Structure 1
């Protein structure tokens, strides 16, 4: 039965309806005899917290009690593997000397995707260790990596098998679902969702920081991602966001902003300072590095590649009800401003102009 279920799932995901499923988070009944709700590919249901779907329940270690028979065993094998992987993530994070850590969403998201593919197998502790090690690079000194080419090559070597195209697709779909990058249309936030952000902030959060977060949150789903796009002025009026223009390097043809210019625009709109209307390299020079625990609403985080080049920036929006750090950023994968709990940041920073505010 397990083989049939896997084939049915793979067949579904490769079909047109399957692709629509990933976008629209449809509910699928795999078999009339096995009534299982599959919610892989879900983006955030309320802009802050994950949907309570199978992928997220597995990731978070939540109990999944509605399954019976072979499907219960099938899911249990995934859960058992995740327990082993969690232990090895903790071990290897302790070996990094520069304070970095593995991207647990990628390590575990890829594992879940692998385990719901046709290459599913029961993982031993040794295999779990090999899996986690595949997300590092370097001989004498290991460092985390998020580069697919490196990870896939390491996985194939460490697991001694070739990753199938459908397996890679499944892995990337599950990872994308966890971080909100599944291609689903980003919707705007309700007043209640925005109020929740303020409610969860420390009482001593300054009004200016609250305004920065509220301006960023108000833009969620409203400003398309456009590589190199910058604002002409503060606010929405006069910027023509969403108007059809010549396509950027990735074919996106709606006038909008990229990640750094979104940050510029937010500060321009709130504080009449566009930070020089620069890129991430320029922005980080205007900041000082801070510890994660020192983050305040409106602070920034940068993604930096192994060459030391800044590649992405986001605005810290406080914590959600689960205590997870919430980020608002112009997200190329969502093609719009999005809010989620991604954890891939290389470091946390405070603009010099925000010191003491």
Structure 2
């Protein structure tokens, strides 16, 4: 009975703490909205203070609910943050789900794709023998998004107030965001004829990018003193971090509580812990990494090269010689998963492709399939990982697919053989 009483008291305290958190969030949101009527800089500061207050309150709640209530805390924290942000100068970064479906994360991915496509267009339209692509400059462009968003936010603001567009990223706002991006990040190219031998020459195509600073854009756009003040506030480190969060950085590979639970629900109850971790690790890249022929990565966590335009160097693909966002191919994805699950101590296939990975496995039948086993196309032209079963008991496969240009989960269509990696102890 005593244990039951303690449990009841804990539940009551949990409920009381959970109930107070949204109330604090509402008060903070109202304070933030009210601050919006003051100067832009004051509004920005008030928003940040309110958001920090919500985080501090949530941290207190986490401590109070350490004995099992952390999932509730995560939900409360998200609700608090969303409420605060919508009422703050950052409200414009939330998509209107009933609108065109284009939020900031989607817009960033779309415009990055256009940037890569522009490089490929220059390459295709300019006769050359050798491509000299300034990868450092290209990376600087892709890392410049926080500054782009800060300038964009100020351009959409009224002098002395907060940025507009609180109803989501409309088509008009998307066009303006694209304009700011290309104004701040400009691609330049030129060709150079160099000697190749005694009587031969070859043409080198140089492609680079020039990144403008937010201060340069303030002058170019003719910002008023009020807007310059707001821009300087938004360029502070704490806001740059918040912008990165709003972008939906794919560098955060953490799965949510709901995602983990959904994945685990699809797995057998008696599945070994090492296989569970393989599946959860594989899901960390779901929908986040482009397909890139010959793309490999022996990096723990997010590989900073992913998404950076690079020329496909590996032979044997229609994409060979084209410039695409760097990512993984099918065997590269499997390599990354096992490398990460082992803490960097194991490379399945020992550096080879899908065929080499197959040789380090034991053949099994489909009836013996267990999540974590590998599956292959005929002649080992493609590889994936068994990641669970659908409601009908059919095998589900997670793999980096060229057709989807990403990591996806599908049925076993196309996969003809299955094998068990020697990595597993059982």
TM-score, normalised relative to structure 1: 0.43
**Bigger helix fraction:** 2
TM-score, normalised relative to structure 2: 0.37
Higher relative contact order (CA closer than 8 Å, sequence separation 6+): 1
